[in-house]
Amino acid sequence: MRCGIGDYSLRLAEALVASGVKVGVLTSVLDEKIQETKGVEVFSVIKAWRLKELPMAIKIIRSWAADIVHIQHPTQGYSDGFLPWVLPLVSFLMKKKVVQTWHEAYGRSKVFKLFLKSVVPSSLIFVRSNYRDCLHPALRWSLWGKKTEYIPSASCIPCVRLDDLRRMELKKHYLKDQKRLIVFFGFIYPHKGVELLFEIADPTLDQIIIAGVIDRKEKDYLARINELASSPSWKGKVTITDFLPAQDIADLLAITDAVVLPFRTGGGDWNTSIHAAVLNGVFVVTTSSIRKGYDEKRNIYFAKINDIKQMRSALSTYAGRRRKYDPDIDKDEWLSVADMHRALYERILS
């Protein structure tokens, strides 16, 4: 499915199986054939994540005899369904150990739904080291009495090593008549700051590739992006690809001069896009309210949020630079992520 947390869940499930954990995934009914999942048992049975599907969820949890029910939240696939909010409580009442991963912070509009999740005795995993600070102060009661654990995310995009001929072919295909290739990839939402690319990049030098998953609900925002892309200074110098498979994204990262992720809320270790770019060695410009300046080891420049001038300067200075090999970065991060999950599972079952 076209969802960052969906990608995360797939990689985690496969890594857990590789570490000796038996994993079943309860997910939506899919229109297409499920890809090979390396030993993960997939239950593609939920038509919509509403309460009417609760009996089906209970049936799968009970028949599969799960020791632990681990809920990832939120995901694109849940839409506005109520079922994911009550699954932790239902699982607990079924006498299952419950683990929850909260990938995003919650606003006050979710107070009732959050109460249903937080009232359950469970272990909480955060992919953001500063999750508590991201949560609205009026909602921090939801963490009281919880065992919390920070487990970082990892890249959902593979690392590729292209031969010189393939690299030249791809570069020529994407670069056209420009001198630098600038890439944004991920979901196209206003808080991603995609429109800032047209101020950060240089139309006299750059070809912009927006490999973005477009939310059709954001029609006005998409229209704004298209308007900027067709403006006199950028016309013919922007390619919007919509969704691309992971391998195609990896190929892009292998040839691009810079990945620009001008997030309006700041980026960090929870962003799988940043992990993917770092793994593939490409220079990254992103934003942060915590970090600043150039991280040579990871080849990332952290600018102030919305600071166009700073991001433009970083692009001018570091575009084209590739990260040096580092055994701490170039290892299989998912094995480490799976080990931390397995250790947590073993503790709560002991």
Give the domain 4-155+333-349 fold: Rossmann fold (3.40.50)
Sorting pLDDT into bands at 50, 70 and 90, what band is 56?
A: very high
**202-218 residue pLDDT tens:** 999 999 999 987 777 78
Sorting pLDDT into bands at 50, 70 and 90, what band is 4?
A: confident
Vertex 147: Cα angle to 116 and 113 (nearest 5) = 15
Res 133: pLDDT? 87
Domains 4-155+333-349 and 164-318 share a fold: yes
- Amino acid (one-letter) located at 175: L
- Integer Cα distance of 101 and 318 in angstroms: 35
Res 46: pLDDT? 94
- Integer Cα distance of 77 and 28 in angstroms: 7
Res 1: pLDDT? 65
Any idea how long the chain is?
350
Contact call for residues 4 and 127 (beta carbons, < 8 A)? no
Contact call for residues 286 and 267 (beta carbons, < 8 A)? yes
Single pTM value for the model:
0.85
Unique residue bearing structure tokens 């570490």 = 19
Superfamily covering domain 164-318: Glycogen Phosphorylase B; (3.40.50.2000)
Stretch 251-259: mean pLDDT, rounded?
Answer: 96
Both tokens of 224, joined, read 């704004």
pLDDT greater than 80 at residue 95 = yes
Percent of the chain at pLDDT above 70?
Answer: 98
Q: Please give the radius of gyration of the chain, using alpha carbons only, rounded to the nearest integer.
A: 21
- How crowded is residue 298: how many other Cβ atoms within 10 Å of its Cβ? 20
Q: List the single range of 68-72, 141-145, 256-260, 284-288 with lowest mean pLDDT.
A: 141-145
Res 136: pLDDT? 87
**161-201 residue pLDDT tens:** 888 899 999 999 999 889 999 999 988 889 999 999 999 99
Sorting pLDDT into bands at 50, 70 and 90, what band is 151?
A: very high
**301-318 residue pLDDT tens:** 999 999 999 999 999 999
As a whole number, the mean pLDDT across the chain is 92
pLDDT greater than 80 at residue 3 = no
Domain ranges of the chain: 4-155+333-349, 164-318
**317-327 residue pLDDT tens:** 999 999 998 88
Residues whose CB falls within 8 Å of the CB of residue 334, separated by 6 or more in sequence, listed in order: 11, 12, 14, 15, 154
Res 244: pLDDT? 86
